Amino acid sequence: MTADLPIIRLRPKSKPQAIRHGFPWVFADELVTDRRTRAIAPGSFAELQDAEHRPLGLCTVNPNSKIIARVMDADPGARIDGDWIAARLSRALALRERLFDKPFYRLVHAESDGLPGTIIDRFGDAAVIQPNAAWAERMSTEIAAALREVTGVRTVILNGQGRARGLEGLDERLEILSGEMSGPVEVSMNGAIYLADLMQGQKTGLFYDQRPNHAFAQRLAKGARVLDVFSHVGGFGLAALAGGAVQATCIDGSAPALQLAQGGAKAMGAADRLVIRQGDAFTQMEALAAEGAQFDVVICDPPAFAPSKQALEAGLRAYERVAKLAAPLVAPGGYLGLCSCSHAADLTSFRNASARGIGRGGRRSQLIHTGQAGPDHPTLPQLAETGYLKALFFRLDG
């Protein structure tokens, strides 16, 4: 394949050893971007070389992105086709089948599973592909075919929405590539039942990454009154009900998401223990404080307030405000869980912002547990962005 490929080359001051040691990205300012490089069609493949013309591997190129090249294979002679994709999918599937008894998990976590910029979540006989890189968009048909071959899924949905695609210069689209989808899918996790809307829900329809953090919160929830803020389809709230909470209150701005939470609670036989409050989470927490409400366990799982380095300072202030508003809602001796899915905010920065917020909320705390995404979201050690999720659990004083 190498003979037919264009060649792209690192600038002399770039550090090729990072690529040789597994770092999968090349930024635009690290590459010699001459007229030929800029003319490469987004999603095409090229041989990557260092400044001394030594091969570093096979990459995909997108001149429209700040991440101008993503390493596909350390072998510059690799052929990226359906068989290559199927081999990567088989390797990813082997890990998930060892970890989980049922086929409900993140099957592909982008670079961590060797499929750059590609997310695949599995929901039994259905799967949702998020092609967030130009090569995956261009080869979405081949990815879907390999996915059906390797896993046996019948329904494959392409969810081409979200900020990541905009950064790649890709248009939004949502379509069923094969099979059919008539309604939400029931997903059982930690004894709870969730309803995932694969066509209209956020991201792929359900956040599998929080599974181990749901389980930890569930241990705190027995006999407790629980508040789940930014609940989406009831992630922490339904887990708490499955763990024996006497009541769970879910707050979210999305009426459809809260309807799915109610559907999940009904499927669990716990509809009478679920309370929903639709509206802005900050406004709702302020209203609960004004009402004098308190809960034994409060969990806040907001969207990514710091999706980029440019948004970091504002994002940390938002996380601090969440903690400040949530802390007074925790009953004496109760527990507060705070989460961040912002890769730009590292654990130390997020922990410090959370601690400041708790203090500003008039409470003192013990940090009792630090969580991350589940093992179906493996981290590529060389790429910090793959380890984006952080969950902090505090016990608050009286």
Distance in angstroms (rounded) separating the CA atoms of residues 100 and 218: 19
Looking at the domain that runs over 2-73, which CATH code has it been given? 2.30.130.10
What's the rounded mean pLDDT across residues 186-214?
A: 93
Cβ neighbour number for residue 152 with a 10 Å cutoff: 9
| Greater pLDDT, 226 or 14 | 226
Q: Active-site residue numbers?
A: 341
* Percentage of residues in the chain having pLDDT higher than 70: 99
Q: What is the pTM of this model?
A: 0.95
- Residue in the block written with tokens 């799982």: 301
| Predicted local confidence at residue 3, as pLDDT | 55
Q: Mean pLDDT across the chain, nearest whole number? A: 96
Structure tokens belonging to residue 159 = 């969810």
DSSP 3: G
- Range with lowest mean pLDDT among 1-5, 102-106, 379-383, 384-388: 1-5
DSSP class of residue 346 equals -
Residue 202 confidence (pLDDT): 75
What number of other Cβ atoms are within 10 A of residue 82's Cβ?
A: 14
Q: Domain limits of the chain?
A: 2-73, 82-178, 190-396
Sign of the alpha-carbon dihedral angle for 146, 384, 312, 371? positive
| Residues whose CB falls within 8 Å of the CB of residue 66, separated by 6 or more in sequence, listed in order | 27, 28, 167
3-class state of residue 110 by DSSP: helix
Cα–Cα distance measured from residue 2 to residue 247, given in angstroms and rounded to the nearest whole number:
61
Residue-wise pLDDT for 95-142, tens only, equals: 999 999 999 999 999 999 999 999 999 999 999 999 999 999 999 999
Domain 190-396 class? alpha beta
8 A C-beta contact, residue 66 and residue 167 = yes
CATH superfamily of 82-178: RNA methyltransferase domain (HRMD) like (3.30.750.80)
- Contact between 233 and 245 under an 8 Å Cβ cutoff? The reply is no
Per-residue pLDDT tens over the stretch 201-213: 777 889 999 999 9
Q: What is the pLDDT of residues 56-86, one digit of tens each?
A: 999 999 999 999 999 999 999 999 999 999 9
Q: What is the pLDDT of residue 1?
A: 47
**Which stretches within 10-138 are classed as H helix?**
16-20, 35-38, 82-99, 134-138
Q: What is the percent of the chain with per-residue pLDDT over 90, rounded to a whole number?
A: 93
**313 Cα distance to chain centroid:** 21
333-367 pLDDT per residue, tens: 999 999 999 999 999 999 999 999 999 999 999 99
